[in-house]
Structure 1
Amino acid sequence: MTDSTKRLKALLSRGFFPNELPPPFHTNSFASSAVKRQEEWQKRKVHQFTSFPEAYSIPRHSDIRRKLSVVNPINQYRVAKLIADNWSQIKEKINDSQISEFDPVIRTKKDLRPVRPVNFDRVGREKIRIMAMYGRYIKTDVVRFYPSIYTHAVPWALLGKAYCKDNKDSQEFKTSYANLLDKAVRDGQDRQTIGIPIGPDTSRILAETIMVGVEAAVKSIISDLADRGIRYVDDLIIGISRDETPTNVLSALSSALYEFELELNAEKTQTVGMGYDHGHEWIHDIRTFEIGQNNASVRDDLDSFFESSLQKAYDNRKSNVALYAAKKASTFNLTDAGELHRIYWMMYIARRHAGALAFVAQFLVSRKEGKNFPSSDVRNFILEQIKVAATYNHTHELAWLLFAARELEMVVPADTLDRVVKLRSSVVALIIYDLWHLGRIKGAVDFSFWREFANASGLKSEMWLLSYEAAIKGWWDQQLPTDYVSDHPFFGGLFTDKVEFYDKAAKIRLSTGKNGISAEGDSSVEGEALITRLRDEVSFRVLPGFADDYS
């Protein structure tokens, strides 16, 4: 297998679906099939295929949400292949950056995301160095970065904006990998030129190339940028020299972003350091909290922790304090009495803060074998929250609540799902169909809306995942033909190869036991990486700046 093919397989198997989806969703078998069928798809003009992505809504903070994308696999294959085949040129461009924490490596090792997550340790260390050497710094980011990216900015960043403008009609430019990347991204979102999908690792790579271009434009004004800047994705920290004002730095940034039709986020722009308030970061208090060993005081300690965390969440509405607090709480070593108290607090924090709900759902499943697990109360909580999430089309919360219901072997009343079965979400739909086939839904369910996607048009729609997966699994609630899949020029090959995107046997990988965090039935590198990350998040090794991961 060539290096290019290894990169392609990694991007399609472990860097495709958003990390935030529940465990059953995977793309491993798709990657193997796509690699095998490259020549066949090329002959069938895969470059002409267009589709809509599924929008998967996740909470950020307060009432702010982020739209992730579950991109059609045929279009994602095109983007991933162009990046894999032209990686040396793309990597060379990314390496032009002197301030990014991004590591330009596509990891091909099994069970790891191809693109490394943000190195917050490095960011924290650099931020302290900049404060020490300059006394002040500007912190800012780009307004709605991924949704605002102009797809034509991809070739601008890779080839140069002037070259692209001057040669836009030339055959050389039209057939360049950079222009083909622009087209491949657009074709996966109904040819829209505004925005790139959030979720796939390929988008992280493309976003990095654009910000490297922004850096170059900033450097033409701030020549010593490499000495006083650090960047992670679109977040920038730049030291302010003695003879400068914050306005000077912001002007240079605004001018550079304008070249790529992007804008500074005024709401998140701040000056930190000498002459300005140096506020206390909430994250330090939460991560250093310790539960006492006296059984009589455990409940009081939990009350203090959660009440303090909720106050910090109120005071820091633009950060997902509740999620971090829930993760910290999951690591406490507790007695049986304390465990029950923690479970109720976790349910309350999830009720107040949607950003913590998915993690709390996983936590509840991990505690189901506990001596004092309140099964009835947890069941009522999940059923109520399903109705709430369905009302607001909050697909992320719905997916995790439904998955938790499956793992807890709950029986879900059909009327709880009246709104759910009318949502345009394959992720939610497949978990519902899984529950239905397991006999875990009591009463009649009206699947008529979802059946409308059982055709070739459905395979190009935002419901492509349901359209394909329900056919391959025989999950449609009525006897429906599957030839719209088997005869399709691209999905037909996946059908023949028995490719599946939903693994019915997948379980939650983490168990938060009395002695800390452990792997539950998963000794894979990925499982260990998840455990390590959760431990790191609540350890003393976390440096200043980590709070940005929860904003």
Structure 2
Amino acid sequence: MADNYVKLRREARKSKITLSPPVFDWSGSRALVRPSVELRDDFRVNLSSRREEYVAADVRAFFHSIYTHAIPWAIYGKEFAKRNRGLVHYGNLIDLLCRNAQDGQTLGLPVGPDTSRLIAEVVASALDVHVQKRLNIGERDASRYIDDYTLSSPEGANGEELLAVLRQSTAAFELDLNNEKSAIYPTSHRQNSGWQQAAREYLPRTSRPHGGIATSALQHFLYQLGRLCVAHPDINVEKYGLQHARSALVAADDWDALQFSLINAYRRNPSLVSLLVEACLLRQNAHRDVQVETLKELIENRVPVLARANRTGEIIWLLFLAIRLDLTLSARKLTPLFTIENAFVALLVVQLDARGLVQGTVSRALWDLSLTTDGLRSSMWLYAYEAFIQGLLPGVNGDFITQDPYFSLLRAKDVHFLEISRGYTSIALTLRGLRSDNQGLQRLREAIEDENFDDLQDLDNDDDEDSDIY
């Protein structure tokens, strides 16, 4: 991917309608600048002033359903790729490596890495070109935000015709449209624009010498945020608003009441679990007044429920919170986790145990089956490797790692995949990182709006880091 980045970027930018082009960011927290959904909303407002109707559609389970063979199709064309399957062509090599990353499966990309974002954009860009040619449309007629299409026709084609062409084009790359999220809208339809500004308008501001945030100001913000959630039930307004209120949450005068509100918000909206964890850790580091007993009770009662529903993402965040706050949890409450074959869950449970934070006995019987050469090739490889090299499995023989031709190299270089103490150490550092991300995003937005990518080959950090952003 690195060796062929310039070529991949060229392929990804063949699209004339993308709102999520790859831009490498040397200074940000991620390799690629994250795209902005506001660009999609702005485009729809613009389009509605010029056309009578438009189609909104997205690709079903985009990252999970990308056919790896479609990667060389997108780069070279399907006919060439089928005739030339050798690894001398980098697209074929990426196809192979994507399959190797997921037990040989040809369906789906690993979700999360920026490599997948770039590959997905290459495939989507080729899909865009296919659609553009079929419909004879350009950047004034259509847009795509990641996998979310907005289509109109300058020649009067109706919405059903546009959807039919989009379905045919996605099928050419072995993809499907999400019928539940595909619809034809009259341009009189009210657009979801302005809610971000409304959410930020109510952000509580400090007006006190000690820098605290008054309880009344926070209550007003949460109330108004709730009203926006009701007005826009299909948008995660609550997450957006609370993310932008990080510093106010940490500086709140009355943390006790706020902690209860944040927990209740998480119960309504599970996507807020990471923000709840972040706020609690930053508050504890700043003021040492987090109600740890309340959090302990939440985690012990919540984990069994989440385990029965196999909601491992939330479990992982809550276990991480318990470790960072040194919460002692009952082994009886953790018992449902002992039968879940998830490497990260297992790794965090043995982290708790090694720190003396589990009251009772942890059963590793299922997880320890992966402490073999075959285990290093299984979905439990992270547990098998990381738990051992961190010394979390006393008495276990590590020959299965030291004698492995690949993992022995990682061990020799002391490569780690998990460091519990990293991150969420101060609100200042957190905001500085977010500022860098937001500045990169703003530059990307301006380039897309001006249809000028020439100055966005890379983003460098040329900001004054000593400036007061808080």
**TM-score normalised to the size of structure 1?**
0.72
Q: 3-state SS of the aligned residue for 1:137?
A: strand
Q: Distance in 1 between matches of 2:426 and 2:435?
A: 7
Distance in 2 separating the partners of 1:334 and 1:365: 9
Deviation at 1:233, TM superposition (A): 1.4
Distance of 1:160 and 1:146 partners within structure 2: 20
Residue 320 of structure 2 corresponds to residue 410 of structure 1: no
Cα-to-partner distance string for 1:295-342 (whole Å, 9 max, x where unaligned)? 9x9656544543554465466554333322432443437986543322
Let me know the Cα RMSD of the aligned residues: 3.1
Deviation at 1:129, TM superposition (A): 3.3
Q: Distance in 1 between matches of 2:378 and 2:370?
A: 8
1:259 counterpart = 2:172: yes
Match of residue 377 from structure 1? 294
Distance 1:212 1:294, change over 3 A: closer
1:145 touches 1:234 (CA, 8 Å); kept in 2?
A: yes
| Residues 126, 92 of structure 1: alpha-carbon distance in 2 compared, 3 angstrom cutoff | same
Paired with 1:377 and 1:257, the residues of 2 have a C-alpha distance of 49
Partner of 1:452 in structure 2?
Answer: 369
Q: Does 1:98 align with 2:2?
A: no
Q: Which residue of 2 aligns with 1:142?
A: 59
1:502 Cα deviation after fit: 1.6
Q: 8 Å contact 2:331–2:358 — kept in the other structure? A: yes
CA contact (8 A) 1:272 1:278 kept: no
2:92 to 171, 179, 199: 179
- Aligned residue for 1:230, secondary structure, equals strand
The whole-number CA distance in structure 1 between the counterparts of 2:32 and 2:324 is: 30
3-state SS of paired residue (2:54): strand
Report the equivalent of 1:207.
120
Q: Among 421, 426, 440, which residue is 2:338 paired with?
A: 421
| CA displacement at 1:178 relative to structure 2 | 1.7
CA distance in 2 between counterparts of 1:293 and 1:162 reads 62
Matched-pair contact (CA < 8 Å) for 2:24–2:31 = yes
1:81-116 C-alpha deviation (Å, 9 max, x unpaired): xx2223333222222111213344444x36642222
- Give the equivalent residue in structure 2 for 1:330: 246
Question: Are the structure 2 counterparts of residues 449 and 142 from structure 1 closer, same or farther at C-alpha, using a change threshold of 3 Å?
Answer: same
Q: 2: CA distance between counterparts of 1:106 and 1:395?
A: 31
Matched position secondary structure for 2:287 = coil
Q: Report deviation, 1:421.
A: 2.5
Contact 1:136 / 1:272 at 8 angstroms: preserved in 2? yes
1:357 to 256, 273, 279: 273
Distance change >3 Å, CA 245–CA 154, structure 1 → 2: same
Q: Which moved more, 1:117-126 or 1:376-385?
A: 117-126
Where 2:10 maps in the other structure, the secondary structure is helix
Q: Which digits, 9 at most, give the CA deviation of each residue in 1:329-367, with x for residues without a partner?
A: 434379865433222111111122111112112111222
Alpha carbons 1:230, 1:238 under 8 Å: kept: yes
State the Cα deviation string for residues 445-479 of structure 1 (Å, max 9, x = none): 11221111111111000011111112222211x41
Greater mean deviation of Cα atoms: 87-96 or 352-361: 87-96
Contact 1:218 1:252 in 2 (8 A): yes
Partner Cα separation in structure 2 for residue 111 and residue 308 of structure 1: 32
Q: Which stretch of structure 1 is more off in the superposition, 327-336 or 253-262?
A: 327-336
**Corresponding residue of 1:530:** 434
Contact 2:292 2:327 in 1 (8 A): no
1:232 matched to 2:232? The reply is: no
- Aligned twin of 1:66: none
**Structure 1 residues 356, 220: CA separation in 2 closer, same or farther (over 3 Å shift)?**
same
Contact 1:434 1:504 in 2 (8 A): no
Structure 1 segment 35-114 matched on structure 2, within 5 A = 83-107=1-25, 109=26, 112-114=29-31
Where does residue 443 of structure 1 map in the other structure?
360
Shift in Å, 1:384: 2.2
Cα distance per residue 1:131-180 (max 9 Å; x no partner): 33436432221011111111111111111012233x1xx5x646422222
Higher RCO, 1 or 2 (CA under 8 Å, sep at least 6)? 1
The structural deviation recorded for 1:487 is 0.7
Would you say 1:486 and 2:390 are equivalent positions?
no
Query: Which string of whole-angstrom CA distances, capped at 9 and with x for unpartnered residues, describes residues 372-418 of structure 1?
Result: 54332233223322333222222221111111112222112222211
Pairwise mapping of residues 233-252 of structure 1 onto structure 2 (< 5 A)? 233-241=146-154, 243-252=156-165
8 Å contact 1:336–1:372 — kept in the other structure? no
One-letter amino acid matched to 2:92: N
Q: Indicate the percent of aligned positions where both proteins have the same amino acid.
A: 25
Aligned residue pairs, count: 438
Q: Offset of 1:280 from its aligned partner?
A: 6.7
Aligned mates of 1:226, 1:456 — CA distance in 2:
52
Counterpart among 158, 161, 167 of residue 75 in structure 2 = 158
Q: Does 1:501 align with 2:414?
A: no
> Are 1:138 and 1:272, in contact at CA under 8 Å, matched by a contact in 2?
yes
Q: Are the structure 2 counterparts of residues 366 and 531 from structure 1 closer, same or farther at C-alpha, using a change threshold of 3 Å?
A: farther
Return the alpha-carbon distance in structure 2 between the equivalents of residues 441 and 418 of structure 1.
11
> Secondary structure, in 3 states, of the residue corresponding to 2:31?
coil
Match of 1:40 in 2: none
2: distance between equivalents of 1:299 and 1:141?
A: 42
